[in-house]
Amino acid sequence: MSLFITDECINCDVCEPECPNNAISQGPEIYEIAPDLCTECVGHFDEPQCVEVCPVDCIPKDPDNVETEDQLRGKYDALMAAGK
């Protein structure tokens, strides 16, 4: 499952540079996570780095994008093969 950023985001800018897949970008009002790029840091780190650095705890799992560990690993492998 990918992650998403809630409206509790304070636009502190710390999550975006931590994402190894460049899945986080500034949206119209708050930062957003592209579910097709988010692997919850599977393949890169043991824990999602955006969650680790978020000072307001506003990055939960996205119930609309449920994925297993194997699916996240497959997404990671596909992103790496594509040079992302």
Terminal-to-terminal C-alpha distance of the chain: 19
Give me the pLDDT at residue 14, please. 97
pTM of the prediction?
A: 0.92
Ranges of residues in the chain whose predicted pLDDT is under 50:
none
Give me the pLDDT at residue 80, please. 95
In the chain, at which residue ranges do the beta strands (DSSP E only) sit? 24-26, 31-33
Domain borders along the chain are: 16-81
The Cα–Cα gap between 5 and 40 comes to 13
Q: Do residues 55 and 14 make contact, with C-beta atoms less than 8 angstroms apart?
A: yes
Answer left, alpha or beta for residue 13, where phi above 0 means left and psi between -120 and 50 means alpha: left
CATH class of the domain defined by 16-81: alpha beta
The Cα–Cα gap between 38 and 21 comes to 7
